[in-house]
Amino acid sequence: MELFYNQIHYFMHIARENSLTESSVNLQISQSTLSKAITKLEKQLNNKVFIRNKSGVRLTPYGEKLYQFLLAEEKNWQQFLKNEQESSIQINGNFKIAAHQTFFMNGLYQSVASILEEYNDINIQCEFINSTQAVKAVIKGEVDFAICANPEMHPDLITKHVAKEFIGLFSNVKKISNIVYYNRETINSQKVISKLKNSKCVEINDYEIIAQLIKSSNHCGLLPSPVAKRHQLQFQHLSNVKHVEIFLIYRFDMPKNPSRELIIKKILNHYKTNN
C-alpha cells in the first residue's frame, strides 16, 4: 500500500512540474527511482500516464483523467481534515449582537441563523438598537459585537469595514406626490426634510412600514439603499443624500477564542458575499 501511495505521490508531483528532472530535485530522489515508480504505476493501471519527450513529460489522455480524479480526491481529503480539525475545537458560548433591525432585515439574520443551525452549543441574542446606542453597548461590554453605520472611533474598539450604502429618496413611480415619509433616526434626515419646502413630511420611525407605504402609493420616502433594493423601489429622486459606511465593531480586549473568531468570520463572509 505504501509503495502504491508513493507512486501516486510521485505521479502528482511530475504532473504538476511536467518534468522528471525538476521533480527529482524537489523530491530529493533519483530520476531512475521516479521512472521505475511511474513504470510500475502504468503496469498496475495497464495504461500509459505520461508521454516522454526532449522537453520533459506530458500527460496522456488517460493520465490527464487520472490527474483530475486524484486532484479532486486530494481536495476532498484536505476538506475532510479541515472539517475534522474544526469539529475537534469546542464551539460554544452565549453572545450578544447589537444592530438596527434594518441590518438584520437586510441579511444579517442569515449569518446568525447559519451559526445557530450549525453549532448547537452557541446561543446568540440579538438586540435591536440604533448605531449610536450599539457603539455605547459594545464599549460598556453589554454586547459582544455590533453592526453600526458611521460609528465614532474609540480607542477600545476594533472596527472592520464591511459595506457601503447610501441614504436616498425613493419611490415606486416616476411621478410622485408631495408626501414624503422619513425616519427621524436616518442620518441627515432633518437636513433633507428642511430642503423639501413644498412637501408634506410624515415621520414614521420604521423603514419597513415606509417602504410598504411607498410601494402602494405615489408617495416617496427617505430610505437606506439596501431597504429600497429589497423592496424593489426603482426610482430615486435627488442625488444620493448621504453615503454611509457600515462596520462590524467589538472591543479590542475581547477574549480570543474559537467561538468568537467564528462569529467574526461568518459576519465578514456574509458581507463579502453580498456586496
Residue 88 has pLDDT above 70, yes or no: no
pLDDT, mean of residues 7-12: 88
pLDDT in tens, 205-229: 999 999 999 999 999 999 999 999 9
The predicted-structure confidence for 219-269, as pLDDT tens digits, reads as follows 999 999 999 999 999 888 876 578 899 999 999 998 888 899 999 999 999
H or E element, residue 158: strand 157-171
Q: Tens digits of per-residue pLDDT, 121-148?
A: 999 999 999 999 999 999 999 999 999 9
- Rg (Cα) of the chain, in Å, rounded? 29
Per-residue cell: 223: 430610505
Residues 6+ apart with CB under 8 A from 18: 56, 57, 58
**What is the C-alpha separation between 99 and 274, in angstroms, rounded?**
18
pLDDT tens, position by position, 26-80: 888 898 888 898 999 899 899 999 998 877 889 999 999 999 999 999 899 888 8
Q: Distance (Å, rounded) from C-alpha 23 to C-alpha 15?
A: 9
| pTM (predicted TM-score) | 0.65
CA distance 99 to 145: 9
**pLDDT on residue 161:** 95
In angstroms, rounded to a whole number, what is the distance separating the alpha carbons of residues 213 and 199? 16
Q: CA 267 to CA 193: how far, in whole Å?
A: 34
Q: Are 56 and 31 in contact (CB under 8 A)?
A: no
Look up residue 270 and give its three cell numbers.
456574509
Domains contained in the chain, CATH given = 2-87 (1.10.10.10), 93-158+248-274 (3.40.190.10), 165-245 (3.40.190.10)
pLDDT: which is higher, 184 or 84? 184
93, three cell numbers: 458560548
Mean pLDDT in residue range 112-116: 92
